[in-house]
Amino acid sequence: MLYWVFDLDNTLYQLPRNIDFNYRYLKPNAKLRQQLQILPLKKILFTNGTKGHAKRCVDLLQINDIFDNYVCREDVDYIMKPEVYAFNKLYMLNNITQNDKVVFFEDSIENLIVAKNKFGWITVFIYPKRIKLKEIDFWFPNIYAALTFFLDKINLNF
């Protein structure tokens, strides 16, 4: 099975990096909603944020019904990414096996390195500046470019 795993902050939405976070910056995002809806199979939100934070963000973005599951800091016993335990817990909570394919969208290099080296995930770095590392399979400056790329590739069984 194919799983699409998304970090939340600075991945599903990006705010200017020089401002303090405030929920008022998050607005309904029809383009993001449409792109996520088209992705086939399982979609999981995997965040170091709390359930309350994740819920509030996806509610404000109006993508709250897109994900099959949310894995937040409470779900991983407060042992968060990039700790291997958090990834193992994600596997357990979602019945993912080593035979499944996981595409991981993330803005943290440390989290991508663990995902690639320990679990063999397909890693997608969402960040304004390109950084080349062997653990990064794909780089995009924003989530829209990434989703457009993968939606184009779905029929090619990337």
CA 67/CA 97 separation, integer angstroms = 19
pLDDT band with cut points at 50, 70 and 90 for residue 18: confident
- Give 29-64 pLDDT, tens digit per residue: 999 999 999 999 999 999 999 999 999 999 999 999
Domain 2-156 belongs in CATH node 1.10.3080.10: no
Amino acid symbol at 120: G
| Of the candidates 47, 49, 44, 8, the residue with the CA atom closest to the CA atom of residue 29 | 8
Q: Which residues contact 136 (CB under 8 A, 6 or more apart)?
A: 109, 112, 116, 123, 125
Residue 121: CA atoms inside 13 Å, Cβ hemisphere, count?
28
With beta carbons less than 8 A apart as the criterion, state whether 126 and 106 touch.
Answer: yes
Nearest-CA neighbor of 49 among 86, 24, 103? 86
- 41: number of Cβ within 10 Å: 12
> Does the pLDDT value for residue 134 go beyond 90?
yes
Can you give the pTM of this predicted structure?
Answer: 0.95
